[in-house]
Amino acid sequence: MTELLNVVLLTFMVIVALAAVWLRNLFASVMMMGIFSVLSACTFVVLDAVDVAFTEAAVGAGISTVLMIGTLALTTRDEKTPVRWSVLPLMVVLITGAVLVYGTKDMPRYGDPSAPVHEHVAPRYINDSPAEIGIPNMVTSVLASYRGYDTLGETTVIFTAGIGVLLLLGGYRNRKRQEDEF
């Protein structure tokens, strides 16, 4: 049952993604992206990744949408360039897709409990983390302790983004006006 649900959700995601790319009203496009994020959060719930779903909903449907609307308010709402079909990008994309499909042939089947990812490394997190860390949410155990250093890196990435936005948009008067004054 969950598999069927998954396929339906994924198909919706493809439709919404196509709409987001196709629409030339950027505001509508951004709304589509919000829907896209909510849909992907739903698929993550179906796939048992509740923490990821929570984050995707907060980030994709929340932060990203707010930022994009903010950007639209500061720039423009309409895309000028008409949709054009350029050959080279299309070729690149088709080749990338074909290579990936070729790679799926030897992949473990979806949900297979004997796939390598479930046999190596992960069993320790599942079996021993309640004893070693003592908290029920394994994702938190792995995130903050076993791979806590990655999370320090992640915090640094967010810090970097904050510094970057301050550098680009914070405080001082922008260049355009300085030029206008001359």
Partner 1 sequence: MRNQMIPRVIAKFFIPMILLFGLYVQFHGDFGPGGGFQAGVIFAAAFVLYALIYGLDEAKKVARPAVVEALVALGVLIYAGTGVVSLLKGGKYLDYNVLAHDPIHGQHLGILIVELGVGVTVAAVMITIFFAFAGRGQSE
Partner 2 sequence: MNPGLYNYWIVIVLMMIGFYATIARGNLIKKIIGLNIFQTSVFYLYISMGKVSGGTAPIVGDGITSYSNPLPHVLILTAIVVGVATTALGLALVVRINEAYGTIEEDDIFSQDQAS
Partner 3 sequence: MTEHLPILQIIVPLISAPVCVLLRRKMLTWAFSLMVSLAVLCMAAMLLQQVLESGPISYALGNWSAPWGIEYRVDVVNAFVLLLVSIIGAVVLLYAPSSVAKEIPHDRHYLFYTAYLLCLTGLLGITITGDAFNVFVFLEISALSSYMLISLGEDRRALTAAYQYLVMGTIGATFILIGIGLMYMMTGTLNMADLSSRLPSMHGSRTILVAFAFLIVGMSLKLALFPLHMWLPNAYCYAPSVVTAFLASTATKVSIYVFLRFVFTIFGVDFAFENLSLSTFLLPLSLIGIFVASTVAIFQTDIKRLLAYSSIAQIGYIMLGVGLVSATSLTGSIVHLFNHAMMKGGLFLAVGCIMLRIGSVDLADWQGLGRRMPVTMAAFVLCGLSLIGVPMTVGFVSKWYLILAALEQGLWPVALLVLMSSLLAVIYIWRVVETAYFQAPADGAAKVKEAPFLMQVSMWILTGATLFFGVSTSLTVGVAQRAAEWLLGGSQ
List interacting residues with partner 3 (CB under 8 A). Answer: 99-100, 102-108, 115-122, 124-125, 145-150, 152-154, 156-157, 159-161, 163-164, 166-168, 170-172, 175
First to last CA, the chain: 68
- Name the residue nearer to partner 1 (CB basis): 12 or 65: 65
Task: Say which entry of partner 3, partner 2, partner 1, none residue 66 contacts (CB below 5 to 8 A, set by partner kind).
Answer: partner 1
Piece of the chain touching partner 1 by CB under 8 A; list 4-12, 31-39, 84-92, 137-145: 137-145
Q: Nearest distance from residue 54's CB to partner 1, in Å?
A: 5
Per CB under 8 A, the list member of 62, 65, 77, 125 interacting with partner 1 is 62
Q: Nearest distance from residue 154's CB to partner 2, in Å?
A: 5
The phi and psi torsions of 78 (rounded to 5 degrees) equal -120, 140
Establish if 70 lies at the interface with partner 1 (CB under 8 A).
yes
Q: Nearest distance from residue 50's CB to partner 2, in Å?
A: 5
Residue-by-residue DSSP string for 8-54:
HHHHHHHHHHHHHHH-SBHHHHHHHHHHHHHHHHHHHHHTT-HHHHH
Piece of the chain touching partner 1 by CB under 8 A; list 7-15, 63-71, 79-87, 103-111: 63-71
For residue 82 the two structure tokens come to 């008409």
- Name the residue nearer to partner 1 (CB basis): 35 or 60: 60
The phi and psi torsions of 70 (rounded to 5 degrees) equal -55, -45
Distance CA 154, CA 144 (A): 11
Establish if 76 lies at the interface with partner 1 (CB under 8 A).
no
Angle of helix 65-74 versus helix 26-46 axis, rounded to 10: 170
Establish if 128 lies at the interface with partner 1 (CB under 8 A).
no
Task: Say which entry of partner 3, partner 2, partner 1, none residue 106 contacts (CB below 5 to 8 A, set by partner kind).
Answer: partner 3
Distance CA 90, CA 45 (A): 33
Which are the contacts of 136, defined by CB distance < 8 A and separation ≥ 6? Answer: 130
